[in-house]
Amino acid sequence: MRRSSPFAWIALLAALAGLAFLLVPVVAVFADTGPGRLLDALGEPAAREALWLSLRTTTIAILVVIVVGTPAAYLIAGREFRGRALVLTAIELPLVMPPAVAGIALLAAFGPRGILGDAIEGAGVELVFQTAGVVVALVFVSAPFFLRSAISSFEAVDPRLLAAARTLGAGPFRAFATVALPSARGGLASGLALAWGRALGEFGATLLFAGSLQGVTRTAPLAIFADFSEPDGFVSALALSAVLILVSAALLLAVKLLGGERDLAGGGSR
Amino acid sequence: MKVRRIAAIGALVAIGALTVLPAGCGGGGDEGLVVLGASSLQGALTEYAASYRGADVKPSFAGSDRLAAQIRRGAHADLFAAADTAYPARLFAEGLVDRPRLFAANSLVVAVPAGSDVSSLADLAEPGVEIAIGDAAVPVGAYTRTVLGRLPAGERRAIMANVRSEEPDVGSVIAKVAQGAADAGFVYATDARAAGGAVKTIRVPARLQPDVAYAAAVVKRGDEAAARRFLDGMIDGEGAADLRRAGFLPPP
């Protein structure tokens, strides 16, 4: 930009136009109606129940993702095996899968007529139309965000440190807990925030797989969709949207602060 | 590395251009006739639109409530075909559309998965029967509540207690039933018919039937003349024939 070439000007213009395009809809959510009415709309039981349900289901889903995903990611990161690329691709597939496809796939697998439907029913578990079904959908769509980030941060742990820990007498679990986990924590945390953000915004898979009922399966995104067409629902749709935007922004900020940009930029491509 | 990245970005831009351009070009001079139709009209109006010679028709389907909300928010459309008379009437009162005209009628049925044990309306009140209905805002949901409202209070409460999902439109209610995710769903007779062998139909007795009348209205500031011609065909022409073939009844 020292000598202002035409290209520099074009780039600046493109950057400003792009930024405005991305920001205007976000600002509009807050500016369309004004904060007072947005807050009023959040006081309504339907909106509160939707937010509370979103908070509960995403929290449970994220806990499942952490508890199962962390050791799984550690295992995959530390091993070379045949078909590793295939496993990594399978893990990342839900990342690019359209949510509606995820919903259909979950129904085909775990629905009453799905291939595992009888087994699940036999175990006395019910997912479709249940809050548990929402959690299943959220885990399915959000896990890849965590796994990707966790695998690449475990891969970045210096193997000599792990070897040193083992020489000093630490068992595999101790080496994992005292060496690998602390060194990978930035990547783990940013993967967590991204996964949470994705879970919070989940819509299509939830609607198709779990349905939509206030207090049971109607999470905030589904409530926004339902509100949109109600005669006076646009304001409450905006209010819920505003909350989701604020939470998403906080999660994204957390990713940045935790140094997750590195993972975002080049997670799986190393 | 850098070259590869540039190539990747180039490929993405090319894909984007390829997907956006055809739509963009079509929208340049002649946008086509945008027909917003209730979900239940999808089969019949898609047929009619495909064979219609008078204009390049772009049909789009969703719950009538959602379509009305889109028109109210200023979405461009030429014709609004709803599954009730209330939404077009409300838009007419707001000055957004011309006077609505009736073009079809329908009836409400209960759809159950093929091979289901549920065989009567009374069965819906049994504990453990999982029912999907339309959201209160979408016409099929409103009709369903009318039917339930005509039942004895005890039966109505038992059925409402079995409702497991309030779906955004009739299309997703019938899909839940056809998938076996729901044990029963209130849908239009035409949807149950279109689902074919996947579902079994339980009639709703005449004394409980709501008046399911479909009204359409030409949207103001759209291509009003072309929309009116298309609607004429729905009332008495090729469109009407397609509607009858799909099982819709003549307007009341």
Residue A181 C-alpha, separation from nearest chain B C-alpha, in angstroms:
31
Q: Are B123 and B200 in contact (CB under 8 A)?
A: no
Q: Are residues B202 and B226 in the same domain?
A: no
The b-or-e profile of A88-112 (16+ CB within 10 A means b, else e) is eeebbebeebebeebbbbbbeebbb
Residue B140 C-alpha, separation from nearest chain A C-alpha, in angstroms:
14
pLDDT of residue B2: 58
Total domains, chain B: 2
Alpha-carbon span B194 to A143, nearest angstrom: 37
pLDDT of residue B27: 39
Q: Are residues B161 and B117 in the same domain?
A: yes
Cβ pair B172:A230 closer than 8 A: no
pLDDT of residue B13: 57
Residue with tokens 């679990």: A173
Residue B134 lies in a domain: yes
Q: Are B216 and B100 in contact (CB under 8 A)?
A: yes
Cβ pair A207:B135 closer than 8 A: no
Q: Are residues B68 and B188 in the same domain?
A: no
pLDDT of residue A266: 42
Q: Are residues B226 and B161 in the same domain?
A: no
Q: Which domain holds residue B35?
A: 31-105+213-245
Q: Are residues B99 and B124 in the same domain?
A: no
Closest by CA position to A126, among listed A223, A220, A205, A209: A209
Q: Are residues B123 and B196 in the same domain?
A: yes
Q: Are residues B113 and B198 in the same domain?
A: yes
The CATH architecture annotation of domain A41-269 reads Orthogonal Bundle (1.10)
Alpha-carbon span B207 to B187, nearest angstrom: 17
pLDDT along chain A (270 residues), means of 10: 78 95 93 86 91 96 97 92 92 91 94 90 91 97 95 92 88 90 91 94 94 94 89 86 93 79 43
Instruction: List the CATH number of the domain containing B80.
Output: 3.40.190.10
Question: In chain A, what residues touch B135 (CB-CB under 8 Å)?
Answer: 212, 226
Alpha-carbon span B42 to B56, nearest angstrom: 17
Q: Are residues B203 and B115 in the same domain?
A: yes
Q: Which of A229, A234, A238 to mutate to test the interface with B (most CBs of B within 10 A)?
A: A229
Ranges of residues in chain B whose predicted pLDDT is under 50 = 1, 20-29
Query: Residue B198: what residue type?
Result: A
Cβ pair A230:B65 closer than 8 A: yes
Cβ pair A211:B167 closer than 8 A: yes
Sequence ranges of the domains in chain A: 1-31, 41-269
pTM of the model: 0.82
Q: Are residues B78 and B134 in the same domain?
A: no
Residue with tokens 């207690």: B161
Q: Are residues B101 and B191 in the same domain?
A: no
Residue B251 lies in a domain: no
∠ CA B25-B29-B32, rounded to 5°: 85
Contact residues for B12 (Cβ-Cβ < 8 A; gap 6+): none
Chain A segment 123-142 residues within 8 A of B by beta carbon are 128-129
Residue B49 lies in a domain: yes
Q: Tell me the three state secondary structure of residue A270.
A: coil
Q: Are residues B185 and B231 in the same domain?
A: no
Q: Are residues B95 and B158 in the same domain?
A: no
